[in-house]
Amino acid sequence: MKIRTEPIARVWEWQADAACRGMDSSVFFPPAGERGRARRRREDAARAICRSCPVSGPCGRFALASRQHYGVWGGYTETERRSAVRVMDRK
């Protein structure tokens, strides 16, 4: 097991430049029971913000590495990340 020795602030510093910083998190995280068209509209709005974000790459990598179960991270939905994790786990 590899132990991280870098300062913890460095792990999170990408967030300072995030396009979503200070925004209402409800754009990125679903309310209870959200489905269908409402979910797609909210995810599309979140992804539009992520497309213009200078740190969408680090954000998406963080979400995959830490196995974030909920929300849109780095432009990737919960479903897309679950699929990517399954592929990573097979390797």
Binding site for [4Fe-4S] cluster, by residue number, is 20, 50, 53, 59
The Cα–Cα gap between 33 and 23 comes to 22
Cβ neighbours of residue 78 closer than 8 Å, sequence gap 6 or more:
69, 70, 71, 72
The binding site comprises 20, 50, 53, 59
Confirm if 84 and 64 have CB atoms less than 8 A apart: yes
Q: Which residue has the tokens 């910083």?
A: 21
Q: What is the C-alpha separation between 16 and 11, in angstroms, rounded? A: 11
